[in-house]
A and B are shown apart, each in its own frame.
Chain A
């Protein structure tokens, strides 16, 4: 037997801790079980007396709980890059904040209370990314923040952005809210250049340098990729952009709260974050806008956010986001180590148990929680749905699941062939996952893949293709 890897060592530690923390030690469970069996008998009065009877009543609720847990297996969530559950602390904060309905723009007591809370939240969000609170604009989502930045380029008003250069550079693996907006801008006369990525999803700094012509006004590259987890060297990209007189934007929606994000050391001009990827609420995002950077609101018609984003502040969302940030401050570092260990175990387990697998993404510069894996011969949506039937939620870059016919643009950009892209799933871990979750997936996945490959034309070894022709 091979010695335990570092990942397993950390995990076993985790399991021991879980056992200590668990409030139902084995012997008690055994008693519950016996009571559970007897409880189903019809002759209760024949044997129930004294102490046993009182224990029975005391634990009746617990028995029901066990019974239910036997009947409905735990749902395991491995799709944290899509969205995350609310952190219990965030939920608490938001439930309390529901009582606070004042408009932060009002001058009376109700309004002032809301204003005070919104501004306090702004400070906390700003601090976590090393920004000044005046540089934070709350938005309705990460997508809105990204749209805001890109749309600076069609602002015809010389009042907003005098002399803005009309070409942008972005990468081929951005989120659709950047790619689609870029495409739209192109139809409106803005030049768009795309950076390629290597097989691990990294952009080539030399290519960026080569594309940097005088007319480039903005470089927008995501900090960490949502599908494969690859982390870009944003500071180096920003340096190239600035050296050539362009502004730098990074979509840090996936990176923020998972790895340290500091706007000063990254030296970016715009940075996007989102609430629901970090155990905060949906419908809230924020855009960092460096002091002195030209700006033009995407949503007009109000003085909110110092005129940078109209619309009454989403107080509940803002407070939830700030609380989520607080919890990231407390939990991020330890969690990264833990998830790294889980991912390592998952990766080794998959390699051990399943033939013919490919891992997508960067071996080192990657989010600790993201594992993207291809199973040739098995199609992604089928894997997703069979796992779902087993109570396990993952996602896929497969075309069939999304309704388009093209598989993941991210995987195709890394040079993965279409077949491998069709057969990929993304497992994205989060704070609520336990070692048991990992083992459950490792138990279930090989069977699912075997089952799909067994009915797959793509996985027929031998000469069947010859017999068809």
Chain B
């Protein structure tokens, strides 16, 4: 019962942050929201008894992907002046 309530709270947070990630006008907020969605999805993988997948998603989706987005955003903003 407790795991069901926990899963429900995680799913609600993931859906709300996903809507923020596509609708917010600033790009940097959208990138950080996508990184946090990936982090909560990693916790959901642990509830679904998949520790390998949780480790991979936390290291790649929430770490390296956000960093690469910010490198590109920085270079684009520099070119604008």
- Do A and B originate from a single complex? no
Chain A residues in contact with chain B, CB under 8 A?
none
Chain B residues in contact with chain A, CB under 8 A?
none
